[in-house]
Amino acid sequence: MRHLAPHPEPVELTHAKPTLLLDWNRRSNKVRKVRRAIKDHLYRHQYGLCGYCEGSLGELGRHTEHVEPKAGIGGNPARTFDYSNLIASCQGDTDKPKPAQDASCGHYKDQQIHADGVYTPADFISPREPGCDQQFRYLLDGRVEPTALAGTADHRRAAYTLRLTGLDCLRLRNRRRQIAERHIRQIDRYKNDPVSLQRLINHYLGPRKDSNGTDVLLPFHTTRRQRFFP
């Protein structure tokens, strides 16, 4: 999980806020315009990656995710247009028929909360929380697990977050394992060639342009970074 550092909300949201009702799905041009601005703003700030799985939003589709749900179980309508509560999430394959073990991210989290019948916001690690990137370890075999020792509060929170978001699902494990194995081979090949190794690091960890000219990162950035900088 990449930490999404604080950044200013889009001006469209700031201007509309005093008169916005707390209804995200309201059919009005004003709400539609604000939602569009938020979606684009988050995409740029997150370098085109899902805030949870770090998959490519361009490939997987995206929605604006309320980290603390705006409605339903554990819902907090007051945070509907609270920018610090919003991230861009991929669709996590939840809209396709497939084994449930392959689903992840924002919509999957809604399903898990519904199944649990309860949501504990204090136990959920948001990508906007400082230090969130230290809470998860991406293993060579593609699994992701809490960094903290079992039995600690940090471990409990990380495990809860992984369960709700499905970040350790088989589909994501397989993708991360393939990437990790490729980088391990490359690092080994260039271990005595620091110039080529640095070029690789720049290539895989640096930003590039998407088809609209927006800076994006390659998917699974943290998996890659933890291989180059274990």
> Which one of 105, 125, 148, 164 is in contact with Zn ion (CB under 5 A)?
105
- Assess 162 for contact with Zn ion (CB under 5 A): no
Per CB under 5 A, the segment of 23-31, 36-44, 99-107, 151-159 that binds Zn ion is: 99-107
Of 30 and 44, nearer to Zn ion (C-beta) is 44
Joined together, the tokens standing for residue 225 give: 């970074």
**Cα 12 from Cα 30, distance rounded (Å):** 9
Handedness of CA 12, 18, 21, 23 (dihedral sign): positive
> Which one of 34, 90, 164, 217 is in contact with Zn ion (CB under 5 A)?
90
Nearest Cα to Cα of residue 127 among 46, 204, 206? 46
Nearest Cα to Cα of residue 80 among 6, 22, 19, 37? 22
> Which one of 1, 13, 50, 88 is in contact with Zn ion (CB under 5 A)?
50
- Assess 67 for contact with Zn ion (CB under 5 A): no
Q: Calculate ∠ Cα 132-53-76, nearest 5°.
A: 65
- Assess 38 for contact with Zn ion (CB under 5 A): no
Interface map 195-224 toward Zn ion (x if CB under 5 A) = ------------------------------
**Cα 126 from Cα 133, distance rounded (Å):** 10
Instruction: Enumerate binding residues for Zn ion (CB under 5 A).
Output: 50, 52-53, 55, 90, 105
